[in-house]
């Protein structure tokens, strides 16, 4: 796809940028550029309805008050990172998987698909344009947020005929505010996704519904919320934005199966692949909250960790809910959690062999 490059009239001054990238936090500051591509139904170009791709200044975009996303929440997004390789180069991790999942989400939300190569090309362009925004802080990365929303001015309830796809970037340090080595989680009585709903799609609506339960977790002094399944309120599904893994004394691992109510995480898939490669028994199996508590108490369960692009792999040390709380293992990160995290981060940073072609150098 041809991109028009719109020059930036006043990028952030270097001194200010340096200050930001030394301590970026998460999602607070955005870089100078963004990609934007428009979609109109019936548009007959090289990429069908997609047209007018631009790489330009990251700035507010005007929206008509009747823009359909503001009323019926037709919106999807992705999240990936650009990493610094040990040799100083920059790389993306499995961007093709994000492009594929983006289109799966698009289908569920009745939105047009974007050719995978256009998705990846867009990501590469904006990262290359703003490479000097790469954080200088240890463990930093450039967090990439591609998203699409319905932008037709129309209040009838049906899929829109106009959309915008954008990619913005935010320098990122450590995802969890506390930066603690193990997080504490709160079992919510709210549910995130029902069977047949949008739980497997990465859409804004799922997050809107998770804000109250997440706020409740914070109010009780925890870092994250754990959701149980909506039908039986029994099976563990995932955290607000991360998938869960349970590690047992005998070295076997369980992670909840993809039944349409959890997000098919790319980190989840990578961890399953790495663990199986080293001969571990990884089962995609339902695991109940009662079993979790019992196994933690008996010592059969030795570790629990959460994973996702933003925080990579994070140990869960404490679990709490209305019925009380329990500790997992020592309450800190276990051996398997640390070892899998190190292998994954090693692959992402180019210090561990990338057997699967996951790392895409920029």
The interface with ligand PLP within residues 260-299 (CB under 6 A) comprises 263, 265-268
Q: Which stretch binds ligand PLP (CB under 6 A): 111-119, 150-158, 228-236, 240-248?
A: 240-248
In sequence order, what DSSP letters do the residues of 220-253 get, joined into one string?
Answer: TT-SEEEEEPTTTS-BEEEESS-EEEEEETTS-E
Binding piece for ligand PLP, criterion CB under 6 A, among 25-33, 216-224, 238-246, 278-286: 238-246
User: Is the CB of 31 or the CB of 198 nearer to ligand PLP?
Assistant: 198
CA dist list (Å): 280 to 238, 251, 252, 283, 315: 22, 7, 6, 10, 19
Cα–Cα distances in angstroms (integers) from residue 158 to residues 150, 154, 162, 180, 317, in the given order: 11, 9, 12, 45, 45
- State which of residues 33, 81, 162, 202 lies at the interface with ligand PLP (CB under 6 A): 202
Min separation Cβ 98 and ligand PLP, Å: 7
* C-alpha–C-alpha distance, residues 138 and 277, integer Å: 29
Q: Which residue from 295, 296, 341, 349 is spatially nearest to 314, judged by alpha carbons?
A: 341
Using the minimum distance from each CB to ligand PLP, give the nearer residue, 151 or 267.
267
By CB under 6 A, the residues from 305 to 324 that bind ligand PLP are 308-309
In the three-class reduction of DSSP (H, G, I as helix; E, B as strand; rest coil), residue 40 is classed as strand
The nearer residue to ligand PLP, 55 or 226, going by C-beta atoms, is 226
Q: Which is nearer to ligand PLP, 27 or 49 (CB)?
A: 27
Residue 344 Cβ vs ligand PLP, minimum distance, rounded to whole Å: 10
CB of 4 to ligand PLP, least distance (A): 31
Q: Which stretch binds ligand PLP (CB under 6 A): 44-52, 125-133, 142-150, 259-267?
A: 259-267
DSSP symbols for 41-74:
TT--BTBBTEEEEEEEE-------TTBTHHHH--
- 198 lines the binding site for ligand PLP (CB under 6 A): no
Among residues 75, 238, 295, 303, the one that binds ligand PLP under rule CB under 6 A: 238
Q: How far is the CB of 199 from ligand PLP (least distance, A)?
A: 8
Q: CA-CA-CA-CA torsion for 317, 321, 326, 330, nearest 10 degrees?
A: 10
Residues 36-75 close enough to bind ligand PLP by CB under 6 A: none
Token representation of residue 298: 């008996």
Q: How many residues bind ligand PLP (CB under 6 A)?
A: 13
Interaction mask 70-99, ligand PLP, x per CB under 6 A: ---------x--------------------
CB of 174 to ligand PLP, least distance (A): 16
Options 55-63, 159-167, 234-242, 338-346: segment touching ligand PLP (CB under 6 A): 234-242
Q: What is the sign, positive or negative, of the torsion defined by CA atoms of 117, 119, 120, 122? A: positive
Beta carbons within 8 Å of 165's beta carbon, 6+ residues apart: 35, 36, 37, 38, 39, 50, 114, 122, 146, 147, 148
Place of tokens 């940028």: 17
Cα 4 to Cα 165: distance, rounded to the nearest angstrom: 15
| Nearest residue to 166 (alpha-carbon basis) of 57, 271, 86 | 57
Of positions 198, 243, 314, 337, contacts ligand PLP by CB under 6 A: 243
Footprint on this chain of ligand PLP (rule: CB under 6 A): 79, 202, 238, 241-243, 263, 265-268, 308-309
């Amino acid at each position: 796809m041809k991109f028009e490059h719109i020059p930036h009239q006043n990028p952030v001054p270097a001194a200010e940028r340096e200050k930001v990238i030394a301590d970026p936090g998460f999602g607070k500051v955005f870089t100078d550029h963004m990609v934007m591509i428009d979609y109109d139904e019936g548009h007959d170009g090289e990429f069908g309805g997609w047209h007018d791709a631009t790489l330009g200044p990251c700035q507010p975009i005007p929206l008509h008050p009747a823009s359909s996303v503001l009323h019926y929440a037709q919106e999807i997004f992705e999240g990936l990172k650009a990493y610094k390789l040990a040799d100083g180069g920059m790389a993306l991790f499995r961007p093709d998987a994000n492009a594929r999942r983006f289109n799966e989400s698009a289908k569920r939300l009745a939105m047009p698909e974007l050719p995978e190569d256009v998705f990846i090309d867009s990501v590469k362009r904006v990262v290359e344009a703003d490479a000097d925004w790469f954080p200088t802080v240890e463990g930093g990365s450039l967090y990439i947020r591609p998203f699409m929303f319905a932008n037709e001015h129309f209040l009838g309830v049906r899929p829109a005929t106009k959309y915008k796809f954008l990619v913005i970037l935010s320098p990122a340090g450590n995802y969890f505010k506390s930066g603690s080595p193990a997080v504490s989680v709160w079992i919510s009585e709210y549910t995130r996704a029902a069977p047949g709903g949008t739980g497997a799609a990465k859409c804004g609506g799922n997050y809107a519904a998770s804000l109250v339960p997440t706020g409740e977790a914070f109010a009780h002094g925890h870092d994250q919320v754990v959701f149980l399944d909506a039908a039986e309120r029994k099976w563990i599904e995932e955290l607000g934005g991360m998938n869960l893994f349970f590690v047992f004394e005998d070295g076997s691992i369980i992670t909840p199966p993809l039944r349409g109510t959890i997000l098919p995480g790319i980190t989840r898939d990578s961890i399953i692949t790495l663990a199986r490669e080293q001969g571990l028994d990884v089962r995609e199996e339902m695991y109940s909250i009662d079993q979790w508590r019992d196994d933690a108490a008996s010592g059969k369960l030795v570790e629990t960790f959460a994973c996702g692009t933003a925080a990579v792999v994070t140990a869960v040390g404490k679990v709490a809910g209305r019925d009380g709380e329990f500790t997992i293992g020592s309450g800190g990160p276990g051996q398997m959690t640390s070892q899998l995290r190190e292998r994954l981060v090693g692959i992402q940073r180019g210090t561990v062999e990338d057997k699967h072609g996951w790392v895409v150098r920029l």
